Copies of this chain bind each other. A is one copy, B any other.
């Protein structure tokens, strides 16, 4: 089978090779890929940045966002059938540690991730643990189904603030997860979804197409604008998806007292906060977000797909054939894209 393999520990370093088709273990299922999308994590691996150097051993097939079709279920797996459409949660959890027993499998103490610690799905077939598979509704297009992992990040972030129906929310960042968060918040009936980009006009324009009620950029006094749009009160919830330290502080200042700031962005440096005024006296709730709740987030994500309220088409800016994956990587690296989906 064909696979995109990180063969050399260097920027790029990826080749489309012919490799052996995996053989599923007794608790696995062998999946033929139908569609895959490129994640920011894949870009870290492609670009071979510090994180990738610390976490990835070459050779490694990467990629973890997909929808596919089961071609063979392992012998202990009687609840999945050949022909089932499935997607997968990339965080492989143990099921028996304290966090798993608490319902926090997404922060399992014994976690591994396929596409990072083990081979991923930038390839025609992959054998994955059956417990990590989600059976799809085959009526939903495979392009959408392949987005459930990043869409789940957005769902997990947006609903970390509780029920946001009728609430004023701000999305900081108009990258792929920011765009997905905008459509999730709109679909859930937020009173207003205010998006904040910085200077990438392409993505800010996408934010408008996706449905943000208003989009601000670096030239705007966003704190003042948000206050003005909320009768001076501030936003109920702010979703930080940039990793910019200033965005954290500004995000708090945009929020109302007693509001929520959810942090999904990754920061390359420490952030200095005025805890007294900005968190204690303001009764702020600051929440770190990671991955997707297993399977809570997937259930909500699928319900939203079923509702047909998500506006995903403007977010999928590029569709390529899997053979053109390197072109996809370069497009993603340009910053002028939303999600890039590869079909097989």
> Quick one: which of B103, B165, B295, B309 contacts A296, CB cutoff 8 A?
B103
Q: Is the CB of B295 within 8 A of A288?
A: no
Task: Say how far A160's CB is from chain B's closest CB, in angstroms.
Answer: 9
Q: Is the CB of A79 within 8 A of B96?
A: yes
Q: Is the CB of B248 within 8 A of A95?
A: no
Q: Is the CB of B275 within 8 A of A271?
A: yes
Closest residue of chain B to A293, judged by CB? B103
Mark out the residues of chain A between 284 and 303 whose CB falls within 8 Å of any chain B CB in the assembled complex: 284-290, 295-296, 298-303
Q: Is the CB of A102 within 8 A of B299?
A: yes
Interface size on A, residues (CB 8 A): 71
Tell me if A315 is interfacial: C-beta within 8 Å of chain B: no
Q: Is the CB of B304 within 8 A of A191?
A: yes
**Bound complex: CA A283 to CA B107 (Å):** 8
Task: Say how far A307's CB is from chain B's closest CB, in angstroms.
Answer: 5
**Bound complex: CA A162 to CA B165 (Å):** 11
Residues of B near A94 (CB, < 8 A) are 79
Q: Is the CB of B299 within 8 A of A288?
A: no
Indicate how many identical chains form the complex: 4
Task: Say how far A173's CB is from chain B's closest CB, in angstroms.
Answer: 14
**Bound complex: CA A163 to CA B99 (Å):** 18
A284-B288 contact, Cβ under 8 Å, with A165-B165, A166-B299, A189-B307: yes
Closest residue of chain B to A165, judged by CB? B188
Q: Is the CB of B302 within 8 A of A166?
A: yes
Q: Is the CB of A295 within 8 A of B101?
A: yes
Tell me if A272 is interfacial: C-beta within 8 Å of chain B: yes
> Quick one: which of B102, B166, B281 contacts A295, CB cutoff 8 A?
B102
Task: Say how far A273's CB is from chain B's closest CB, in angstroms.
Answer: 6
Q: Is the CB of A267 within 8 A of B258?
A: no
Q: Is the CB of A163 within 8 A of B166?
A: no
Task: Say how far A234's CB is from chain B's closest CB, in angstroms.
Answer: 10
> Quick one: which of B159, B191, B279 contacts A165, CB cutoff 8 A?
B159
Tell me if A208 is interfacial: C-beta within 8 Å of chain B: no
Residues of B near A288 (CB, < 8 A) are 275, 279-285
**Bound complex: CA A299 to CA B104 (Å):** 13
**Bound complex: CA A274 to CA B106 (Å):** 21
Residues of B near A296 (CB, < 8 A) are 102-103
Q: Is the CB of B131 within 8 A of A99?
A: no
**Bound complex: CA A290 to CA B283 (Å):** 6
Tell me if A270 is interfacial: C-beta within 8 Å of chain B: yes
**Bound complex: CA A131 to CA B159 (Å):** 30
Tell me if A264 is interfacial: C-beta within 8 Å of chain B: yes
**B-contacting residues of A (Cβ < 8 Å)?**
79, 94-96, 98-99, 101-104, 106-107, 109, 130-131, 159, 162-163, 165-168, 187-192, 231, 233, 248, 256-258, 263-268, 270-276, 279-290, 295-296, 298-304, 306-307, 309
- Return 23 A-B CB contacts under 8 Å, by A number: A98-B256, A99-B233, A99-B256, A99-B257, A104-B257, A106-B283, A107-B257, A165-B165, A165-B300, A166-B299, A166-B301, A166-B304, A189-B189, A190-B307, A191-B306, A263-B275, A266-B280, A267-B274, A270-B274, A271-B275, A285-B285, A285-B286, A286-B286
